[in-house]
Amino acid sequence: MADTARNPAGFVLPFASRSVNSRLRLHSFILAETLKVTVPPAGTSSTTHSVVALRLVRRPQSSATARSSILAPHRKIHHMPWFQRSTTLPAYSRGFHLITPKIVDALPELRDIQVGLLHIFIQHTSASLTVNENADPDVRVDLESSFSAIAPEDFPYVHTMEGPDDMPAHVKSSLLGCSVSVPITQGRLALGTWQGVYLCEHRDRAGPRRLVLTLHGES
């Protein structure tokens, strides 16, 4: 194989061996000797014989190899557990309600997660979830007024068989969404100082609401 390529370390390699060299370099090694491969002449059916003569030395550490060391086989593997639990909230009146403490109480495994993510999903179409102000209750009052103005009950809806508050509830649920994700830091929800998780109840006479809590992270 006459065609050759010179690697950054200055060693002559057969052209077909570049992929071998690339794979080795992924693990922070470089070739210190020439890789020699013998193949049968073109047009013959004789068996291929390969002779590999190489010596591996560790690549000097640098910022580039430090980044690639994530792929090294000696990297420490951390435990990344998954937890999933369903919880049922009691019936709430129409409006916006802080439920952060109920979520934390329902998932005791959360305190063991150092870095992770909590996904909260509501299994209903006439209620929703969001993150907003956790201090002044007037914010919740204004949110209810604002969304009632956006999706009023006197709009000429087609779907009316479940009462005048039902279709507006579906609209509000679609606007706000059925899930939120919150990062976990050192066993706690990494919410801002003034942030809390809301249950947004859009029905006048709602029943209990079911949540699915899915937690994933490094313990």
Query: Is residue 138 scored above 50 in pLDDT?
Result: yes
* pLDDT surpasses 60 at 45: no
**Beta strands 195-201 and 95-98, pairing class:** antiparallel
Residue 101 has pLDDT above 50, yes or no: yes
**pLDDT at position 198, please?**
98
pLDDT band of 71, cuts 50, 70, 90: very low
One-letter amino acid of 180: V
Partner residues linked to 130 by β-bridges: 198
> What is the chain's alpha carbon radius of gyration, rounded to the nearest angstrom?
30
User: What does DSSP assign to residue 78?
Assistant: P
Mean pLDDT score, 169-189: 98
What mean pLDDT do residues 13-38 have? 45
Among 43-52, 105-114, 165-174, 201-210, the minimum mean pLDDT is found in 43-52
Q: Are 217 and 190 in contact (CB under 8 A)?
A: no
Strands 56-58 and 195-201: unpaired
Here the tokens at position 138 are: 């007037």
Domains by residue range for the chain, with CATH: 4-71 (no CATH), 82-218 (2.60.120.460)
What is the per-residue pLDDT for 219? 87
pLDDT of residue 76: 58
| Mean local confidence (pLDDT), 32-61 | 49
How many CB atoms are closer than 10 A to CB 26? 10
What is the helix, strand, coil percentage profile of the chain, to 5? Answer: 25, 30, 45
Q: How far is CA 23 from the centre of its chain?
A: 28
Q: Which amino acid belongs to residue 168?
A: P
Q: How confident is the model at residue 195 (pLDDT cuts 50, 70, 90)?
A: very high
| Least trusted range by pLDDT, from 10-19, 54-63, 197-206 | 10-19
Q: Minimal CA–CA distance to 53: which of 17, 101, 91, 93?
A: 17
**Residue % of the chain over a pLDDT of 70:** 64
H or E stretch covering 209:
strand 209-218
What residues have CB less than 8 Å from 4, skipping those under 6 apart?
A: 12, 13, 14, 15
Average pLDDT over residues 128-142: 97
Place of tokens 């068996």: 47
The arithmetic mean of pLDDT across residues 192-210, rounded, is 97
pLDDT value at residue 92? 98
Distance (Å) of CA 140 to CA 91, 97, 130, 155? 17, 7, 11, 23
Angstrom distance (rounded) from CA 183 to CA 164? 37
Residue 136 pLDDT: 96
Mean pLDDT, range 135-157, rounded to an integer: 97
> Is the model's pLDDT at 188 over the cut of 60?
yes
Mean pLDDT of 155-168: 97
